[in-house]
Structure 1
């Protein structure tokens, strides 16, 4: 399980004295615990790994947005720190699909559903998310789906 891998990496980072990795892994564990609490009242993903991957993907997305803002604001040192956090977090994410694999998956779903225009985008995106949420960046997939349906 990914959760166990994160705990083991935290112990290793603490023993090695890697302060940046330790801090990032603690942030990850905190975010996962917060998501666990939210899942008690709402709908939780089917598997624990799906929940953890969802949290990790959200954290990476937040950091990428922060990097963009820091670079625009001329704070490269903060952007570099966020980049280092992304590197630590991405070690625990499953391998992401390439653009070609994503396009192939979109075409397969499009053919299956008989999708022909932009009115079908919601159905295609929902099916894509159901099948490939853990291995796909949905924001990038959105643009590819839009291009495939137009």
Structure 2
């Protein structure tokens, strides 16, 4: 079952149960998936669906941060609640220790040393763990380990 199909099923259930926040959030995610499919001109692969959902979460996190900075905590809380709903369709995120262990493993396997190898490290790391780690946080830890 594709991710989009799972979201559509969850949307129907949210509509039946009259869960407005979940219904509206899932509709926005489906709209993003549809827009990407139209832009591409063909059906999306599972990896592409995950990328769209990941961008959706990233955008919501940034919105929540901006709302918090502007003193609009109620809107930030709504964005955070929507993030919880959307993240249910992403693969389980690796913990900090697992990410650091993966970074150390890539450094050892590839024989990397120094900040000049950061790009190569991130390329290998993200290809192995697409959707399972936060790239920004992983980059910070990788730079720390390569220093």
* TM-score in terms of structure 1 length: 0.91
Residue 149 of structure 1 deviates from its aligned partner by 0.5
- Residue aligning to 2:12: 11
Distance (whole Å) between structure 2 residues aligned to residue 68 and residue 134 of structure 1: 21
- Residue aligning to 2:29: 28
Distance (whole Å) between structure 1 residues aligned to residue 39 and residue 95 of structure 2: 31
Residue 84 of structure 1 deviates from its aligned partner by 1.2
Distance (whole Å) between structure 1 residues aligned to residue 128 and residue 30 of structure 2: 26
RMSD of aligned alpha carbons: 1.6
Query: Is 51-60 or 116-125 further displaced after alignment?
Result: 51-60
**SS at the partner of 2:127?**
helix
Residue 19 of structure 1 deviates from its aligned partner by 1.2
**SS at the partner of 1:133?**
coil
- Residue aligning to 1:63: 60
- Residue aligning to 1:110: 107
**SS at the partner of 2:9?**
helix
- Residue aligning to 2:120: 123
- Residue aligning to 1:96: 93
1:40-86 alpha-carbon deviations (Å, 9 max, x no partner): 39xx9xx7221121111111111111111111111111111111111
Distance (whole Å) between structure 2 residues aligned to residue 122 and residue 39 of structure 1: 28
- Could you tell me which runs of 5 or more consecutive residues in structure 2 were left unpaired when the two chains were aligned: none
- Could you tell me which runs of 5 or more consecutive residues in structure 1 were left unpaired when the two chains were aligned: none
**SS at the partner of 2:130?**
helix
Give the number of aligned pairs. Answer: 146
- Residue aligning to 1:52: 49
Residue 39 of structure 1 deviates from its aligned partner by 3.0
Distance (whole Å) between structure 2 residues aligned to residue 112 and residue 63 of structure 1: 35
* TM-score in terms of structure 2 length: 0.93
